[in-house]
Structure 1
């Protein structure tokens, strides 16, 4: 493997901050590198240095064949598309139609990102770039880069504005369609599923340094855990040394002048070399108001947008009843109405038909995709924006001030005095979440909560949601988050209906793959009950008579009870395996029992799906 680009002892200082501190890394042909790290840690700067768009203060950058040796393409977070150009000119350039239409790789890009040869999803190849939304322009910029196919591809948050299906397509394209001798890809991403599916190496940018790990996110987490374990042992040894040296130094002032100077210097070196604690983000759970048996219900609800004759039905007679403590993730094609569904739940969007019911004790907190609710705090300090909700709260059984809470949430000392308008996107998102949690809701609705959050903050957020005592609804393209914090998923496929997904995101992707065109509805995606607690007020398939539907619903109810019991049994088996980790014989017995549970569950899920097809 040849070295496409190498950085040797590269340093870059912004103000008093060492963004890159004597970094030495290299990109080899065939590499697929994922770049992770906290927001503001220098990831985008590293990519700009590799691309030659940012000159370092010191160090050397070497490119294969010199400056003109390899083609480097970079997707930045800034929009640089010509608004007066057409999509054809932007993405395909001056390539003749017979050239790009006959190239399977280019057709795959057009289908995966723009909806097909005619780019139906973005209004046609001859439509102008100017009127497109930010998300559409982002996809156009990514499509242009993938069509150009440079030797070194640098991507800064390529999964932004992509839905679950788009993220899956991009990971497959970069991992299977793009690799060839002489190519490499480096991508900054906070999407952990994408990182696992795409990356062969992971770079962590932290405190001006870049550490390389083999593999994607899972391998990176395992390697970090082992590194932290070893660091813990080293820290323990170090602490013992420090205690001994400090105790020796403090044994009586009269004797101090007779102490060997090298011992004093050694102790001072130990103290001076003690690393500062890492500025970690600690989100906290807060008490939730008690929920009654009624939460939020949509009954035969219809929502439309636009006026006749351009009126479009986003939700068509949807019945959905949320249960106390239910944790549901929602996926769907862009424009299918995911955010509209959330706003219909909260009452922010009027229903064209049907009704909405709210439990008496319900207190809703709604995190939108925008941070517009922070606009009125632009000139406020962070601590003031937090105290605007509460000045004191209870955490871990103790009453703490807003300032103490802000410190634990990643706004230490001087950062609490920063203006809200000066915060980064990730910090604003964190502040928004903090304010929401302080209201102590019992229904939490999150619309794309992972936007602008780094992996460390995402992990902390998931820790909060793991212990969330109320009802949780999450719309997200981050399938790692959905599968981690939600018990089941629902899909909006663009046909105005909600479909339950017993098979999770994988089932959604199979349905979309079976659809006749990306962005359109699938003939196989017949509507099903939105959840186990749904009333079943949805249309049935013509082939099923009322008696068959009733019988199928009984089967579904029976299977759901059996699946619940199997889940409890599986949980007990996992606990037994943890307790018997040192007994190989017992572990084999438990493993056999666990496999039987898995096999039985798969059979029940298939039975449920067959009954669901009858219900419609």
Structure 2
């Protein structure tokens, strides 16, 4: 049986009158990979903050196994803006970084007393290659300029640096709050594979349902201030949750039938009740509570008529756009048809958001133009569109835009009813905006876009910070939406449910139109990559290995001096790596005296710097 590493007992947390959860208990064992699911505002991030020691709680216990190493990826991490990317990674508060710092102190001070022990710890923790591991993971997360200042990075890039920090330190328990936000689809799939492959314990909040399904072995749900645990992935959770809800609904139905009888009995009771009736009276109030219990999900049934849209939607004609050397589109043409539901995917920086900003007239093309139909009424949900007056009430934010929304067939919804469909009950509607969680603000922003009754929705990363229940509501809304849709999202599950074809942005103005959803595209791409790989093997001659061909290509592009340097570097790196290997074996042997240990460890540090420096130069020359 796996060893427990964390136990939560009878934990209760509230903010003033708002009770988030009460007397919840669960544990995390070695190797558990747990997804935490709850509606926005139910306390997911608060629970993670409590476990990470960043927030107090009202009562209960949070008990870790002794000497457990824990690292936490916060939703909005912060670093000193003056640090470089590499310095930020080395400023992390983790054991390996502290070990490297202690080693550096000992080397610089000349104090040899603890040198042997520190060297053994460095070997045990594989600390010698820490910087290279940092660079490898940062590169996978598409952070390539290791010397760029943190203050120059976007919020998404900072989140990726923080994620790299967590993964590099290899803690025994990783806590992740929305790790897939700001990752493109390629990075999400890499992270999915990394977490599945590594034997770490994991507790995370994410709305990415494919990610939950493929990574997690257990789901914990906060529902109605209680915790429910399901030993399985997301698919298993859905199945078992449905069984639980059905059981609860059956109990409510039985309770209502009993209530009618009990209510009749209570009305017939004389004013002075006997003691024999006391237990039955208490039972009545218990039944009343159960009978009045309603589940919000049952009442969600939302459709939108959308205003009339004509046959002409938009045409892109010879559209070209670039920023300096970065090409977004080049002579791009497209005729968007009525009721089309298009997904836009591609790596970060390939121009997805720029494309829709050109469509909406926010950005101007360098050449060409977009011709928009006269009946088109855009509704635009942008990544940076959250601009509310925090001192306004939720209901006022929506009614300032529209009092009612037309659902078609003579049906109309008031702003209050519309908000209820998006899980803002009447009491929450009269809260001030500043009291909402980040996810609730996103949900409110979505309501402000939809209540304008557009006939062409343009959604740029709508799934970030939305809980799974809200995503289900939005997916239902879009399925019945009688209009056009363009959506940019890294949420593969969401894309599979709502779009019928894709524009794939490959970068450098290469845009592919694929007739299918994201999963179908990935399956096709895997087959295509395999086919191209097989073709390449056939074309490649047996007498000329790929490596030697690459070297020849490099050599033809370099000057005579650079060719000599390139050839010399290969040999030097090989010799340095061999010396590093021998030194590491000597240091670990336990046969060296203190002076020899100090001397050889100094040389090892020099070697690591030399290998890094020469490898970077080799890479520079190989890319010429």
TM over 0.5: yes
For 1:13, the equivalent position in structure 2 comes to 14
Cα distance per residue 1:152-183 (max 9 Å; x no partner): 1111111111111111111110011x21xxx3
Q: Is the 8 A contact 2:178 2:465 kept in 1?
A: no
* SS of equivalent residue, structure 1 residue 304: strand
- Cα deviation code 1:409-466 (max 9, x no counterpart): 3333232233334433322222222222222221111111112211111110101001
Measure the CA separation in 2 of the matches of 1:172 and 1:73: 19
> 1:165·1:509 contact (CA, 8 Å) conserved in 2?
no
| 1:52 to 2:53 alignment | yes
2:422 and 2:470 in contact (8 A); partners too: no
Report the equivalent of 1:428. 441
Contact 2:81 2:149 in 1 (8 A): yes
Q: Aligned to 2:87, which of 89, 92, 105? A: 89
> What CA distance in whole angstroms lies between the structure 2 residues aligned with 1:427 and 1:142?
24
- What CA distance in whole angstroms lies between the structure 2 residues aligned with 1:204 and 1:261? 37
Counterpart residue number, 1:527: none
Q: Among 110, 125, 129, which residue is 2:150 paired with?
A: 129
SS in structure 1 at match of 2:338: coil
Q: Which runs of 5+ in 1 are unaligned?
A: 517-521, 525-616
Q: 1:283 to 1:148 in 2, by over 3 A?
A: farther
| 2:351 equivalent among 311, 323, 337 | 337
Counterparts of 1:302 and 1:71, CA distance in 2: 51
Unaligned ranges ≥5, structure 2: 92-96, 105-121, 535-624
Per-residue Cα deviation, 1:397-418 (whole angstroms, up to 9, x for no partner): 4344333333343333232233
Contact residue 495 and residue 517 of structure 2 kept, 8 A: no
Indicate yes or no: 2:220 matched with 1:207: no
Separation in 2 of the partners of 1:150 and 1:254? Answer: 66
Q: Which residue of 2 aligns with 1:277?
A: 294
106 and 73 in structure 1: CA distance in 2 versus 1, 3 angstrom threshold: same
Q: Which of the pair has more CA radius of gyration?
A: 2
Looking at structure 2, the residues matched to 164 and 313 of structure 1 have their Cα atoms a distance apart, in angstroms, of: 20
CA distance in 1, matches of 2:362, 2:428: 34
2:246 corresponding residue in structure 1: 229
Q: Which residue of 1 aligns with 2:110?
A: none
User: Is contact 2:214–2:233 with CA below 8 Å preserved after alignment?
Assistant: yes
Q: What are the residue-to-residue correspondences of 1:339-488 with 2, within 5 Å?
A: 339-372=353-386, 374-375=387-388, 377-395=389-407, 397-488=410-501
Deviation at 1:261, TM superposition (A): 4.2
1:70-123 Cα deviation digits (max 9, x unpaired): 11111112323222222222235666999666999766523321x3xxx42xxx
Question: Cα–Cα, structure 1 residues 258 and 111, in superposed 2: closer, same or farther, change >3 Å?
Answer: closer
Following superposition of structure 1 onto structure 2, how do residues 461-610 of structure 1 map, counting pairs within 5 Å?
A: 461-502=474-515, 504-506=517-519
State the alpha-carbon separation in 2 of the partners of residues 103 and 83 from structure 1. Answer: 20
Query: Does the Cα contact within 8 Å between 2:255 and 2:290 map onto a contact in 1?
Result: no
2:308 matched to 1:295? Answer: no
Q: Of the candidates 235, 243, 252, which is equivalent to residue 218 of structure 1?
A: 235
Please list, as runs of the form range in 1=range in 2, the aligned pairs for 1:45-84 lying within 5 A after superposition. Answer: 45-65=46-66, 69-84=67-82
Match of 2:140 among 93, 112, 123: 112
8 Å CA contact 1:283–1:461 kept in 2: the answer is no
CA distance in 1, matches of 2:53, 2:394: 36
Task: Pick which of 40-49 and 95-104 moved more.
Answer: 95-104
Matches within 5 A, 1:250-329: 250-251=267-268, 260-274=277-291, 276-279=293-296, 282=300, 284-305=302-323, 310-329=324-343
SS in 1 for 2:151: coil
Q: Deviations over 1:177-212 (max 9, x none)?
A: x21xxx311111111111111100011122332211
Contact in 1 for aligned 2:73/2:163 (Cα 8 Å): yes
Q: CA deviation at 1:523?
A: 12
**Structure with the higher helix share, 1 or 2:** 2
Change in Cα spacing, 1:285 to 1:107, as seen in structure 2 (3 Å) is: same
Query: 1:552 maps to which residue?
Result: none
Which of 141, 144, 147 is the equivalent residue of 2:168?
A: 147
CA pair 49-402 structure 1, distance change in 2 beyond 3 A: closer
Task: State the alpha-carbon separation in 2 of the partners of residues 289 and 273 from structure 1.
Answer: 42
Q: With structure 2 as the length reference, what TM-score do the two structures score?
A: 0.73
Name whichever of 56-65 and 503-512 sits farther off: 503-512
Task: Identify the range of structure 1 (502-511 vs 358-367) with the bigger mean alpha-carbon deviation.
Answer: 502-511
Determine the C-alpha separation between the residues in 2 that align with 1:106 and 1:474.
34
Q: Is the 8 A contact 2:379 2:456 kept in 1?
A: yes
C-alpha change, 1:125 and 1:108, in structure 2 (3 Å) is: closer
Q: Is the 8 A contact 1:75 1:142 kept in 2?
A: yes
User: What is the aligned partner in structure 2 of residue 190 from structure 1?
Assistant: 207
- Provide the aligned length of Structure 1 versus Structure 2: 499
C-alpha distance in 2, partners of 1:252/1:200? 54
- Which residue of the partner structure matches residue 603 of structure 1? none
Whether the aligned pair in 1 keeps the contact of 2:252 and 2:290 (CA below 8 Å) is no
Give distance in 1, aligned partners of 2:128 and 2:523: 28
CA spacing shift, 1:210–1:402, aligned 2, 3 Å: same
Cα–Cα, structure 1 residues 489 and 209, in superposed 2: closer, same or farther, change >3 Å? same
**For residues 331 and 207 of structure 1, do their structure 2 counterparts lie closer, same or farther at Cα, with a shift above 3 Å needed?**
same
**What secondary structure, in the 3-state scheme, does the structure 1 residue paired with 2:42 have?**
coil
Q: Does the Cα contact within 8 Å between 2:352 and 2:505 map onto a contact in 1?
A: yes
Could you list the per-position Cα deviations for residues 107-148 of structure 1 after superposition, in whole angstroms to 9, with x for gaps in the alignment?
A: 6523321x3xxx42xxx2222222111110100011011000
Q: 1:240 & 1:449 partners in 2: Cα distance?
A: 43
Taking a change above 3 Å as real, the CA distance of residues 274 and 105 of structure 1, as seen in their structure-2 partners, is farther
Indicate the residue corresponding to 1:550 in structure 2.
none
SS of 1:483's equivalent in the other structure is helix
